[in-house]
Amino acid sequence: MRGACLPGNRCLGRGPLALIVIGALALGELIGLLVINRIDPSPAPGSSPPSSPQQRRVDSAVPVDEEVTPAGGARGVHILDLLARRTPFKFDEDAIELDASRKYKIARSFLSPDAEFGSPDAGEVCLATQSSLDRLHTLVELAQLWNGPLSLAVFVANAAQFQALRAYLALLRSCSEPVRANVRVDLVFPVGVNVTRAVPWSTRGGGGGPEFSCSNHASLLRTLHTSGGARVVRGNVKQMLYPQNHLRNVARDGCSPQKHFFVVDIDVMPKPGLWDELSDFLASANSGRRLPCAKCVFVVPTYEAREMAPVPRTKRELLAMVRRREARPFHEKSFVFNQYATNHAAWEALPHSEDGLHAAYRVQRYEFFYEPFYVAGKEVPRYDERFVGYGFTRNTQVYETHAAGFEFWVLDEAFALHRGMQNHRAKGYWRERQNTLNQRKLAGFKRDVKRKYLVTAAKTTLPPATKPPLL
């Protein structure tokens, strides 16, 4: 396996080859990037190839008085910095937005895909997701499986995380065709933090900078996340909160050229080919196929399996995993109400369909803690940004969608798989505290929903103020 840059005196191979490649990079030639091992860009089974790429923007070249080195230095350029410079990031201080609370800044289109969202080749639906730096290793698989427009909102807490994010995204974009073609990235960061401040790469342990290649990009991410000041200490509620709902809304906005969006967490993997199937299903509705309701959202049943389990290609393969107890409904053991209303038993019993997706049945027993992953149009309510950190972030949006009169319909052949089994475990004081603080905001949220939609008290009843589960 060839590494692009290794600690010590090795970089981009050995002997004459290294000198040739380093010389090429120093002259500003992109050919130097080709020595990095490629992640297989072939689409997942059942999915279509990416849309036609656009012309890529080229960032600034390396100054002529700098040289490419494994570790950088006073005059040197670290190869990760060079890779980031060759990536069309956009960070315009004059275009930065403030969120409604004025606590966060938003850099839209921080990284744009080669393919154009909203084009005839982009289908009917865009996947929207959000992440912090430490969870980004799942992006490559997510982009490969989805293989369509994907909007990602990333939260960075400081300059070290910002620099690490640029380096990691640059590597993924160089390595993965689905990432390069289809992934748009927006950035969210705290007000008052100068994320563009230069931070030297850590030389902890006598290395010369992080080791990386395409095949071990997850290892690079772990190194980047723990080096310098990239780690965020999560000691108590006064530490920096993760603004999940702000990020979900930003990711939704990134999908805006598309007619529909599918909001998932970054560790939830769609069935291979789901983008194609959803696009066909939604396009047929636009061309005259009658939907079961005027205000529909479409639930994608979600299961969970061990971290490294392969994503099943078909519903039959998924059901075989369920029979072998290798997969089960998402949160079935940790908090059953999270997905209970989907009625996985009814979904598993549906007859197999060979002619695409269908809205099989309506969710009948909605409960407040229901948190399905679903496909919807732009008219559904946004995520309420008063809920910051952990607790009551997704279920309040589902609740408002229900109060607004939308019906939840379960799709027959669609599914998604969460990476990792969810079991009962202690969440720690910091997460308990955030959950409790968010619960205190429920009464005001209830009043606002009731006033906004003029619905009955029965429909807006919330659970009693007991200790909530950790969601």
- The answer on 335 and 325 residing in a single domain is yes
283-315: b or e for each residue (b if 16 or more CB lie within 10 Å)?
Answer: eebeeeeebeeeebbbbbbbbbbeeebebbebb
pLDDT of residue 29: 39
The residue to which tokens 């609370």 are assigned: 101
Average pLDDT (290-308) is 95
Distance CA 455, CA 381 (A): 15
Together in a domain, 286 and 411: yes
Q: What is the pLDDT of residue 4?
A: 37
Residue where a domain stops, chosen among 266, 290, 317: 266
Among 12-16, 119-123, 441-445, the range scoring the smallest mean pLDDT is 12-16
Are 297 and 270 in contact, with CB atoms under 8 Å apart? no
What's residue 233's pLDDT?
A: 36
pLDDT of residue 228: 58
Query: Cα–Cα distance between 273 and 104 in angstroms, integer?
Result: 35
**Residue 415: what residue type?**
F
Q: Is residue 65 part of a domain?
A: no
Looking up tokens 């860009």, which residue turns up? Answer: 41
In angstroms, the CA 7 to CA 433 distance is: 41
pLDDT at 95 over 70: yes
Report the domain count for the chain: 3
Q: Which residue has the tokens 């979900």?
A: 248
Say yes or no: 260 and 304 in one domain.
no
Within this chain, do residues 202 and 228 fall inside the same structural domain, yes or no? Answer: yes
pLDDT (tens digit per residue) in 241-270? 999 999 999 999 999 999 999 999 999 999
* 53 confidence band (pLDDT: 50, 70, 90): very low
Mean pLDDT of 181-198: 96
Instruction: Give a yes or no: residue 48 inside a domain.
Output: no
The arithmetic mean of pLDDT across residues 409-438, rounded, is: 89
What residues contact 26, with CB distance under 8 A and at least 6 apart?
62, 66, 67, 68
Q: Measured on CA atoms in the order 112, 118, 120, 122, is the torsion positive or negative?
A: positive
Q: Do 240 and 308 have their domain in common?
A: no
**Residue 242 is assigned to a structural domain of this protein:** yes
Q: Which domain holds residue 442?
A: 267-453
Pair 304, 352 in one domain: yes
C-alpha dihedral (290, 291, 293, 295), degrees to nearest 10:
-120
Q: Inform me whether the pLDDT recorded for 136 exceeds 50.
A: yes
Residues 339 and 449 in one domain: yes
* pLDDT, mean over the chain: 81
